[in-house]
Structure 1
Amino acid sequence: MTTDQDRLVFVNDPAAEQEDAAAHLPWKVMVIDDDNDVHSLTHMVLRDYQFEGRRLEFLFGHSGQEAKRLMEENPDTAVLLLDVVMEREEAGLEAVDYIRNRLGNRFVRIILRTGQPGRAPEQKVITSYDINDYKEKTELTSQKLMTAVTASLRAYRDLKIIEENRRGLEKIILATQSLFEMQSLKKLATGILIQLVALLELEEGALYVHPAGFAATDNNESLTLYAGTGLYEELIGKTVQETSNQQVIALVERALQRQESFCEENVYVGYFRTRNGSLNLLFLQGSKPLNALDKKLIAIFSNNVSLAFDNAYANQEMLETQQELTFSLGAAVDSHSQQAEFHLRRVAESARLLARLAGLSDEEAELIWLAAPLHDLGKIAIPDTILTKPGRLSPEEWAIMQAHTDVGARLLKNNKQRVLQAGAIIAGMHHEQWDGKGYPNGLAGEEIPIFARITSLVDVFDTLSHDRHYEKSWKINTIIDFITQNRATLFDPTLVDLFLLHLPEFLQIQTSLPNPAPHEPSN
């Protein structure tokens, strides 16, 4: 839904009221006839002619073959005045067929002119060939020629406008297909900027000035850049004021004061206030002035952008809710330990990182981030006497402990939510081993789902890195030796290699989410 705050305002600018530079180019008129006198007469009659302030540019040829070549070289020809009988009796008609069917040019308006109508009867030609007018040379007076050319130019102009609108709307459809996927705000904003550049074809002819833009959001009463293209890519994290560009600052402040989007010359400033009150501002500067069609496309696209921002914030709130739910469920398994929640948070972050390193999609990485904290959910059915036992478990106790994988999978698998379905896979299979000696099903290698293989590795790493009620933490070198020695036995060897290659990043997660000191509140 578009609110008053979302409406788009176009700045009154004399230059913007005119057509852009391309609109002042002459109309191309092609004259194909084997009689030079026809060329001279046509040029004399039309040389001072103008349509909508644009003069004519003439292209001359003497044969059907030249008509084909010139149309290949000049597909933007508006009107073709074409003789029928030239090097062959049907040379002109063959050229029409070539232009329409081989070149696929449906825009040029074709006026057939013939001095021998008996050889190409009007009814047969009009019915069989895609032409727009048929004139006998004897009837084509100066006034009738001007009238025919005017009607053809008007039709050509209207067809091009329809085509430009169709292409623009097609681009909007393609551009908005990805806007409503579940994604981060930064990814969404970056995608919008890229789509705007493509939509407006701002890179076309940009020899010196490349399109540049940014997305900013309010942060402690200042606008902070969180996505950028072009020269603004290096300014992410800075405020708009820190860009040091007074013209940009002035345009942004105008959007904030008016609380509305606007276009001015080659600049678009988008103002979007979401339903939850968050402010997002888009700034895009191209290399050419925005014409009337550009502004129309921006207005349509902006409505979708507004909805996409609302959708992104709703998705973000949903993800945060799902995350807190999975952390709460996972932490409830071990209510005796303050450290349980922090273990789950580290496992979630590490699983997401390893998933990305393994080439999983952003969507899959977010899914394992949400689901990994559920890996030990089945322990909720294991007696506390076993969970908190300080020494080694007896064979009977170990059999009971192993059952937690089946319990966790059963608790989650019948839910239709993707997060809980992923959680069921992880809970049921994170103790399977690469060599097939794990439990509960003795799966081996890639029979084990990738989510379970990832969670298994990061869970062991985090568990060994911190004190437990039955054992002290291991030194980092000892942990790395253990993981290396169990490459291709306990753990997926490819995942181990990725983990070790990026070890500093996993250690940073450990540092950023340390266990709380004893008796220290967890929140």
Structure 2
Amino acid sequence: MKDCESMKEKLNLDNIKLDFLSEDSKPKLKTKENYKIMIADDYDEIHVITKMMLKDFEFEGKGLEFIDTYTGEDTIKALEENPDTAVLFLDVVMEDNHSGLNVVEVLRGRLDNKMTRIVLRTGQPGQAPEETVIRDYDINDYRLKTEMTAKRLYTTLYSALRNYRDLYQINTHKNGLKKIIKTSANLFEHNSLNEFLTSILVQLSNFQKNNPEIVYIRDDVDKEGGFVTIEKNKKATIVAATGKFKSYIGKDIDLVSELKEVVDKIKYSDTPDEKIIFVDSGFIIKNNAKNSFNNYIYIEGNNDIYDFDLIHLFLTNYSVALDNYILNNTIVNTQKEIIITFGEVVENHFEETSGHVKRISEMMYNFALLLNFSHSEAEILKMASMMHDIGKIAIPDSILKKPGKLTEEEFEIIKTHPSVGYKIFEKSDLDMLKISANLALNHHEKYDGSGYPNGLKEEEILLEARMLSIIDVFDAMTHKRVYKDAFSTEEALDYIRNQKGKHFDPELVDIFISNIEGILDID
């Protein structure tokens, strides 16, 4: 009690009523407009006096919200529940002589809170000598309770809040940059332009202010969203959308009456050179790409919640990413066209295998997904597998289309087609064609080493080739050829099951047979 008496004497509090913090007279301040100040002290008078001295305190237009605790244990619990506490006025001695110092260790250690400013206050400096405490504990100020006049308390709190504000801004910028880096790294993990642009919408929706003073609850999240338009032939078409705008995908934005406000802002903006145009219902982002078209992004919602500094930074990456995505897609599509063209050459040459190449590619895609390949990896395998028999173009028709049994010499000629296929693509620098070369070379290798052309066995054979081997045999068995009738699905699966560990990888056989319906789900 000696601490409180000294403070009262210094402040002449004897004639002052300390009931201003009763429930009826407490100021009704909104949490989002205040800094949280925690007072941890086992004397109620210290709480009352501190709050009285700070009742009119403001810092940069914000007031204070007080949190009272009386023991070290309660203080730790309150800090867990209020990680956004700006300043902690902490007594050293509460339920025991080291309660306050224990709180510091927990706050900075287990709770990993480096933001909250700690002002250590003590009436018993012998229990916590200033030099020792400052050196050994991560606190920000050390004060004797007897020296805490109203003026000194104001000065201390101003300094603590400035430090908290600056740390908070630094942390916000750091988190924002992390978000930018993470978002940019994920931009290309999509197979289609629609997926790519939809991901942009989702990422932009996440660039909201990370600020405990700003409270925003979305009650109608399903009704909001955004969309992306691409301008081609002087028409702006909605090509990607989220939320309530999904129904507009594929439509000319000029023909959607509900979007008139957005269309007018795009066409008649007072700030045509601005990247971001604000409307009552949200904001519009204009992107002038290098690849022959403009595009616009619209995000619906309360503009106050978005961090536009981060969005501007993101837009720089977005413009480059969109250009690169389109360029990359052009390259990939060119590769696909080359492979499809080669595939058609194979199919047209071998009429009796019509549809084989397409079925193989579709089954490879489904099988790859079952084996946890990514969608993009499965798509590459789908295309590359179309080339597995390309080497047969070097085999004479008299052998390929022979209805009877092949002679030993004829079969030796047939066995050259994997190596021929490999040589067609082996010098290509394109990833898809490199995979095509390896599939062509290895799809007749057998798990027990009895295959051709190199007699590889088990894991020496590429996983993708082991997959293709099963699919190739299954499709060949279940479709008619000039030299045989088609087998039933059950007969083909029985053969594959019997060839576990011989022709085929046993583990892949089990997965293939267990999921045959999904693998056969082709267009």
CA distance in 1, matches of 2:123, 2:147: 10
Residues 461 and 479, structure 1, Cα contact 8 Å, conserved in 2: no
- What is the DSSP-based 3-state SS (H/G/I as helix, E as strand, rest coil) of the residue aligned with 2:37? strand
The verdict on how the C-alpha distance between 1:464 and 1:75 changes in structure 2, with shifts beyond 3 A counting, is: closer
The verdict on how the C-alpha distance between 1:323 and 1:339 changes in structure 2, with shifts beyond 3 A counting, is: farther
CA distance in 2, matches of 1:442, 1:92: 74
Per-residue CA deviation, residues 482-505 of structure 1 (Å, 9 max, x unaligned), is: 7556443588564466554565x5
User: Is structure 2 residue 53 aligned with structure 1 residue 45?
Assistant: yes
Match of 1:72 among 52, 58, 80: 80
Amino acid at match of 2:229: A
Using the TM superposition, give the Cα deviation of residue 400 of structure 1 relative to its aligned residue in structure 2, in angstroms: 0.6
CA distance in 2, matches of 1:67, 1:299: 41
CA distance in 2, matches of 1:68, 1:481: 67
Corresponding residue for 1:59? 67
Per-residue CA deviation, residues 27-53 of structure 1 (Å, 9 max, x unaligned), is: 122223344433332222211121111
Using the TM superposition, give the Cα deviation of residue 313 of structure 1 relative to its aligned residue in structure 2, in angstroms: 0.8
Using the TM superposition, give the Cα deviation of residue 272 of structure 1 relative to its aligned residue in structure 2, in angstroms: 2.7
Residues 330 and 341, structure 1, Cα contact 8 Å, conserved in 2: no
Match of 1:179 among 162, 187, 190: 187
Amino acid at match of 1:141: T
Corresponding residue for 2:289? 274
Amino acid at match of 1:284: I
Provide TM-score, normalisation by structure 2: 0.76
- Greater RCO structure (CA 8 Å; 6+ sep): 1
Corresponding residue for 1:250? 261
Using the TM superposition, give the Cα deviation of residue 73 of structure 1 relative to its aligned residue in structure 2, in angstroms: 2.9
Report which stretch shifted further, 309-318 or 133-142: 133-142
Residues 265 and 277, structure 2, Cα contact 8 Å, conserved in 1: no
CA distance in 2, matches of 1:120, 1:266: 57
The verdict on how the C-alpha distance between 1:499 and 1:93 changes in structure 2, with shifts beyond 3 A counting, is: closer
Using the TM superposition, give the Cα deviation of residue 62 of structure 1 relative to its aligned residue in structure 2, in angstroms: 3.4
Within a 5 Å distance, the mapping from 1:52-131 to structure 2 comes to 52-131=60-139
- What is the DSSP-based 3-state SS (H/G/I as helix, E as strand, rest coil) of the residue aligned with 1:424? helix
Using the TM superposition, give the Cα deviation of residue 360 of structure 1 relative to its aligned residue in structure 2, in angstroms: 2.9
- Consecutive unaligned residues of structure 2, counting only runs of 5 or more, are 1-28
CA distance in 1, matches of 2:363, 2:46: 79
CA distance in 2, matches of 1:411, 1:123: 79
Match of 1:208 among 213, 220, 241: 220
Report which stretch shifted further, 336-345 or 450-459: 336-345
The verdict on how the C-alpha distance between 1:147 and 1:213 changes in structure 2, with shifts beyond 3 A counting, is: same
User: Is structure 2 residue 39 aligned with structure 1 residue 26?
Assistant: no
Residues 232 and 293, structure 2, Cα contact 8 Å, conserved in 1: no
CA distance in 1, matches of 2:172, 2:156: 24
Per-residue CA deviation, residues 275-294 of structure 1 (Å, 9 max, x unaligned), is: 221344333334x44346x1
The verdict on how the C-alpha distance between 1:353 and 1:242 changes in structure 2, with shifts beyond 3 A counting, is: farther
CA distance in 2, matches of 1:339, 1:281: 50
- Consecutive unaligned residues of structure 1, counting only runs of 5 or more, are 1-20, 509-523
Aligned residues: 478
Corresponding residue for 1:7? none
Corresponding residue for 1:428? 441
- What is the DSSP-based 3-state SS (H/G/I as helix, E as strand, rest coil) of the residue aligned with 2:58? coil
Amino acid at match of 1:311: N
Report which stretch shifted further, 159-168 or 32-41: 32-41
Residues 348 and 354, structure 2, Cα contact 8 Å, conserved in 1: no
CA distance in 2, matches of 1:22, 1:162: 25
Residues 229 and 240, structure 2, Cα contact 8 Å, conserved in 1: yes
User: Is structure 2 residue 189 aligned with structure 1 residue 189?
Assistant: no
- What is the DSSP-based 3-state SS (H/G/I as helix, E as strand, rest coil) of the residue aligned with 2:304? coil
CA distance in 1, matches of 2:263, 2:30: 29
CA distance in 2, matches of 1:411, 1:285: 53
Match of 1:227 among 240, 261, 266: 240
Using the TM superposition, give the Cα deviation of residue 479 of structure 1 relative to its aligned residue in structure 2, in angstroms: 6.9
Amino acid at match of 2:99: A
CA distance in 2, matches of 1:83, 1:185: 59
The verdict on how the C-alpha distance between 1:160 and 1:457 changes in structure 2, with shifts beyond 3 A counting, is: same
Per-residue CA deviation, residues 443-466 of structure 1 (Å, 9 max, x unaligned), is: 788876453355557667888999
Corresponding residue for 1:374? 387
User: Is structure 2 residue 408 aligned with structure 1 residue 395?
Assistant: yes
Amino acid at match of 2:284: V
CA distance in 2, matches of 1:498, 1:219: 43
- What is the DSSP-based 3-state SS (H/G/I as helix, E as strand, rest coil) of the residue aligned with 2:84? coil
The verdict on how the C-alpha distance between 1:34 and 1:332 changes in structure 2, with shifts beyond 3 A counting, is: closer
Residues 228 and 236, structure 1, Cα contact 8 Å, conserved in 2: yes
Identity of aligned residues (%): 37
Using the TM superposition, give the Cα deviation of residue 316 of structure 1 relative to its aligned residue in structure 2, in angstroms: 0.9
Amino acid at match of 1:421: K
The verdict on how the C-alpha distance between 1:455 and 1:227 changes in structure 2, with shifts beyond 3 A counting, is: farther
User: Is structure 2 residue 412 aligned with structure 1 residue 404?
Assistant: no
CA distance in 2, matches of 1:376, 1:102: 62
The verdict on how the C-alpha distance between 1:50 and 1:308 changes in structure 2, with shifts beyond 3 A counting, is: same
The verdict on how the C-alpha distance between 1:327 and 1:84 changes in structure 2, with shifts beyond 3 A counting, is: closer
Amino acid at match of 1:255: I
Residues 24 and 53, structure 1, Cα contact 8 Å, conserved in 2: no
Per-residue CA deviation, residues 303-322 of structure 1 (Å, 9 max, x unaligned), is: 22222211211111111221
Name the Cα RMSD after superposition.
4.0
